[in-house]
Amino acid sequence: MKIDHRKAAVIGCGNVGASIAFRFLQQGLFTRLVLLDANRDKAEGEAMDLRDGLPYGAAMEISAGDYDDLTDCALAVITAGTNQKPGETRLDLIGKNTEILRSVLKEVTARNFGGILLVVSNPVDVLTYAAWRLSGYPRERVMGSGTVLDTGRLKQLLGAELEVDSRNIHAFIIGEHGDSELAVWSEANVSGLDLEDFCRVRGQTLGAENRERLYREVRDSAYQIIERKGATYYGIAMAVGRIAEAIVKDERAVLPVSAVLDGQYGMNGLALSLPSIVGRKGLQEILEMPLSSGERAALSASAEQMREAIESLKL
Ligand code: NAD
């Protein structure tokens, strides 16, 4: 079936799925949006609520649907799954969410879905790899939201620290979207001006201690939010909206999505969040950015954790 480049599906309409749907409504990127959930009433309720906002958004068809509606979708966002409870790590969710992913993919692959799978459920890097293996789709059609959210968190904190617009900060969080992620300080810059030069020019300092504090704040942000409000969803909805925009508009934007590696950094058999070129065809290229030796070691350690988690799944 012909793909409708302006049709998307959100599978799982809990906190995260519903917030993503709301973001899509605000963006006006899609003309058709289908919501699926194991709890059909929930999907229907969310569709009804969203439709009430249509007069104040862009024209769009929003409905609760089933897997048959996926066949002409350009994008299917998977958020089905359980979320972290206070104190739980993302990796603690692995067993339950892999089973949910398996059941979702069984339905998706039974249809003639030709679009892009965007995994959001956690642990997102492990599930992105599982989605690739279980679906049998080419690498370019499977990606995860990765560290797009974490990178946004770093930009936001760094922007506040340096008193500059966070959109001018170019700095990446890479590796696992989780406890073993790392900040690539060696390549960080403010609109092309090396971070250290930027600080020097403005008479600011950003020493190792401050960098470590900012990194920890980013890494532990979800724990802090979950402790206070039980779940995170607005930040991830903005991040997924950004990825969807890059796909729909064929931007070839550089975003740190979760990607199934094919020899990058000498690694295979896992997915990691790395800056990649994202466009209408999906994941067009994973960029192997230069790293300091410390960053390289941290990336390897993160990859090792992902590998162990993947091996435990017996895919
Ligand atoms: P939630 O419990 O509010 O919603 C989950 C939804 O999935 C529920 O509506 C449930 O009915 C549905 N569901 C369960 N099994 C299903 C199935 N087989 N088919 C279809 N729907 C099914 O949880 P949430 O807060 O929305 O979180 C969803 C996922 O997103 C979690 O895994 C969470 O950890 C993850 N998350 C990821 C990021 C990220 O950056 N990648 C950020 C926040 C949350």
Q: Provide the residue-wise pLDDT of the chain in tens; the chain has 315 residues.
A: 799 999 999 999 999 999 999 999 999 999 999 999 999 999 999 999 999 999 999 899 999 999 999 999 999 999 999 988 898 999 899 999 999 999 999 999 999 899 999 999 999 999 999 999 999 999 999 999 999 999 999 999 999 999 999 999 999 999 999 999 999 999 999 999 999 999 999 999 999 999 999 999 999 999 999 999 999 999 999 999 999 999 999 999 999 999 999 999 999 999 999 999 999 999 999 999 999 999 999 999 999 999 999 999 988
Contacts of 152 (CB under 8 A, 6+ apart): 235, 238, 239
- State if residue 124 touches ligand 1 by the CB under 6 angstroms criterion: yes
Domain that holds residue 277: 148-313
- Report phi then psi at 288, rounded to 5: -90, 90
Structure token pair of residue 258: 């979760």
- State if residue 105 touches ligand 1 by the CB under 6 angstroms criterion: no
Q: How far is the CA of 125 from the centre of ligand 1 (A)?
A: 15
C-alpha to C-alpha distance for 191 and 107, rounded to whole angstroms: 44
pTM of the predicted model over 0.95: yes
Same domain, 174 and 108: no
Same domain, 64 and 98: yes
Same domain, 135 and 161: no
Q: How far is the CA of 16 from the centre of ligand 1 (A)?
A: 6
Same domain, 260 and 199: yes
Same domain, 107 and 179: no
Decide if 170 is catalytic: no
Closest among 1, 68, 83 to 34, alpha carbons compared: 68
C-alpha to C-alpha distance for 40 and 261, rounded to whole angstroms: 35
Residue tagged 């690694």 (tokens): 267
Residues 142, 129: contact at Cβ < 8 Å? no
Residue tagged 């969310």 (tokens): 46
Same domain, 157 and 140: no
Give the residue, out of 83, 84, 103, 125, with the most ligand 1 atoms within 8 A of its beta carbon, to mutate for a pocket test.
83
Same domain, 132 and 162: no
How many domains does one find in the chain? 2
Same domain, 100 and 152: no
- We report the CATH number of the domain holding residue 302 as 3.90.110.10
Catalytic residue chosen out of the listed positions 90, 177, 219, 242: 177
Q: Of 144, 163, 186, which residue constitutes the final position of a domain?
A: 144
